[in-house]
């Protein structure tokens, strides 16, 4: 058994197993690396794509979409599932415009619907039900998003939530910041609620993958 395996080595290995992405997605990954923009990255993106394919998702709602990297993985799945819609929601005009450029270049212009809005409010106003909901908003907003998500996701649908390891800050008892508390509280709620089957998958910064009963 190898010892002293680092988190970075595991991350690089998992990323290396993901099949090559189109040049536009590679450019999005390079931008994130260069500018420190928090995208989900190849291994977590591929898992999102895989889950969306496994459940045949055709109606996907994303909360906190950035410049569209995670959206691209969901759009690819929806297209391969026969078509549908992926809602891209971010409150920044600049990121929304940037996402439109990337996703049009990838050929997903018809699949993605753009909302420049606070994401939980956009979900509240959206007509569900959705097959899959992905949550990547500011972490202090996680706990209050759960009842809205539960209402809009179909039974048998999948919820994926990013940053559930929060770079290890959840383990630091001195860290009582709203973001860290938000991750802890969301984890407590979803893992103790009888309405969900939820597991934390420790890819990159940790994804909770939950099935709505």
Ligand X SMILES: C[S@@+](CC[C@H](N)C(=O)[O-])C[C@H]1O[C@@H](n2cnc3c(N)ncnc32)[C@H](O)[C@@H]1O
Contacts of 110 (CB under 8 A, 6+ apart): none
Residue 70 binds ligand X, judged by CB under 6 A: yes
Nearest to 28 by CA among 117, 101, 135, 129: 101
**Residue placing its CB nearer to ligand X in the complex, 22 or 156:** 22
Tally of CB atoms within 10 A around 145: 22
Residue 141 binds ligand X, judged by CB under 6 A: yes
Residue 39 binds ligand X, judged by CB under 6 A: yes
Residues 156-195 that bind ligand X (CB under 6 A): none
Of the residues 103, 137, 203, 208, which one makes contact with ligand X according to CB under 6 A: 137
Q: Which two tokens stand for residue 64?
A: 């906190």
Parallel, antiparallel, or unpaired: how do β-strands 59-63 and 130-135 relate? Answer: parallel
**Residue placing its CB nearer to ligand X in the complex, 93 or 173:** 93
Nearest to 38 by CA among 81, 69, 4: 69
In the complex, minimum distance from the CB of residue 81 to ligand X, in angstroms, rounded to a whole number: 20
Stretch that binds ligand X, among 50-58, 78-86, 132-140, 151-159 (CB under 6 A): 132-140
Of the residues 136, 161, 205, 207, which one makes contact with ligand X according to CB under 6 A: 136
Q: Give the distance from CA 42 to its chain's centroid.
A: 12
Residue numbers at the binding site for ligand X (CB under 6 A)? 38-40, 64-66, 69-70, 89-92, 95, 118-119, 136-138, 141
């Amino acid at each position: 058994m190898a010892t002293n395996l680092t988190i970075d080595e595991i991350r690089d290995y998992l990323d290396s197993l993901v099949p090559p992405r189109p040049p536009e997605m590679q450019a999005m990954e390079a931008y994130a690396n260069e500018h420190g923009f928090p995208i989900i990255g190849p291994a977590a993106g591929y898992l999102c794509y895989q889950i969306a394919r496994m459940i045949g998702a055709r109606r996907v709602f994303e909360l906190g979409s950035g410049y569209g990297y995670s959206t691209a993985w969901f759009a690819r799945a929806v297209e391969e599932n026969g078509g549908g819609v992926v809602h891209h929601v971010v409150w920044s005009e600049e990121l929304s415009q940037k996402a439109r450029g990337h996703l049009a270049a990838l050929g997903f212009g018809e699949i993605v619907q753009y909302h420049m809005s606070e994401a939980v409010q956009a979900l509240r106003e959206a007509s569900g039900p959705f097959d899959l909901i992905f949550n990547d908003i500011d972490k202090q907003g996680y706990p209050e998003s759960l009842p809205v998500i539960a209402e809009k996701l179909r039974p048998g649908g999948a919820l994926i939530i990013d940053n559930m390891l929060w770079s290890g800050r959840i383990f630091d008892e001195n860290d009582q910041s709203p973001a860290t508390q938000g991750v802890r509280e969301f984890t407590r709620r979803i893992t103790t609620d009888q309405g969900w089957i939820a597991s934390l998958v420790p890819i990159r910064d940790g994804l909770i993958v939950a099935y709505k009963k």
